Amino acid sequence: MERKDAPILGIESSCDETAAAILAPGGQILAELVFSQIADHAAFGGVVPEIAARAHLSALDAMVKDALRQARVGFSDLAAIAATAGPGLIGGLLVGTGYAKGAALAAGVPYLAINHLEAHALTARLPSLGAGPVEFPYLLLLLSGGHSQCVAVEGVGRYRLLGATLDDAVGEAFDKTAKLLGLPYPGGPALETLAREGNAKAVPLPRPLLRREGCDFSFSGLKTAIAQLLAAVPPGALPRARAADIAASFQAAVTDILGDRLDHALAMLPDARAVVVAGGVAANQAIRARLAEVAGQAGKRLVAPPLRLCTDNAVMVAWAGIEHLRQGDLSSLDAPCKPRWPLESL
Ligand code: KG4
Ligand code: ZN
């Protein structure tokens, strides 16, 4: 097979999803597998790094071979092997990049070290999404468990940070609030489900940084307000209706904050061709709807990948690999893993 027509393998293992995907050079998805470790971590109420690393190690090889079988290719047919090299948990990163480097070396194909945040950032450009071409520059709202950022995406590898969280990431705020409400891990989806039963106006909550200059975020005050609200409630004594009201009020506060910050971010990047949301929290329907409304008021379209591509996956890693390959970028086999790897440092 000609290398330029060859597919690319992507591997994701930076947190608690083990994923492998194979994409044709045009971005068509040939295989897409995700194994969520949620069950392994649920008892601990959060991701345990050592458990995550071991789970990646036990799942990855079979998963990659399955993906290759589905796509009907072998390692040596690939144009490149791309793996998330950071930011993330070091154990998982070492498992994924170590596997990718070993396979690349053995098969004689190039290796690509991919930044996880960049992979989220570029997902909206995947042609098979059918969102139409998303051209640079665009405004990215990265809303995940570890990051909350407004980024001007000016090109592949060209990112300018406009604003970021001063404390907790938005997904972290969802997870911590969900935990306070006694919801199972991961909290975001569970909180969204419970919020549907509640009254969003029932509990007055702060909206930190609302209408402040710039587009930084702050969520820790919101979480503290809820912790104080619940401090007087004995464990297990919170009625479901009250929990639902708190969940709905929390989600409304976050939605207001994100809408306001997007409004400010758009003023900071007036030539944005679109607004793109990425990261697990972009799966939240109430948040998506508000962001679409604010973007629409500014005459911009909101591009939100389908839910399965908002949360961690390997399609985004393979796609970021394709974008880099098109630019002729390759990584050396001694490229390190970087547990901390800010987007704007690329
Ligand atoms: O991007 P992601 O899969 O992982 C990283 O952090 O990189 O994001 C996971 C985060 C978790 O905090 C999770 O609770 C949150 O996204 N999340 C949600 C929803 N689905 C996932 N938060 C709010 N509403 C949701 N529907
Ligand atoms: Zn992520």
With a pLDDT cut of 90, the percent of the chain lying above it is: 83
Question: How many angstroms is it from 131 CA to the middle of ligand 1?
Answer: 22
**What amino acid occupies position 33?**
L
Atom of ligand 1 nearest to the CA of 146: 6
* H/E element, 333: none
pLDDT surpasses 70 at 2: no
Q: Ligand 1: which of 311, 316, 343 to mutate, most ligand atoms within 8 Å of CB?
A: 311
Q: Whole-angstrom Cα distance, residue 214 to residue 248?
A: 27
Q: Residue 75 and residue 197: Cα distance in Å, rounded?
A: 49
Contact between residue 145 and residue 280 where contact means Cβ atoms under 8 Å apart: yes
Residue-wise pLDDT for 262-278, tens only, equals 999 999 999 999 999 99
Residue 1 pLDDT > 80: no
Token pair, residue 283, equals 């799966």
* DSSP reduced 3-state for 132: coil
DSSP conformation letters of 121-185: HHGGG-GGG-S---PSSEEEEEE-SS-EEEEEEEETTEEEEEEEBSSS-HHHHHHHHHHHTTPPS
Residues 6+ apart with CB under 8 A from 4: 25, 79
Q: Is 92 in the pocket of ligand 1 (CB under 6 A)?
A: no
**Ligand 1 centroid vs 254 CA: distance in angstroms?**
14
Give Cα 31 to chain centroid, integer Å.
20
- Which residue has its alpha carbon closest to ligand 1 atom 16? 280
Q: Please give the model's pTM, rounded to 2 decimal places.
A: 0.92
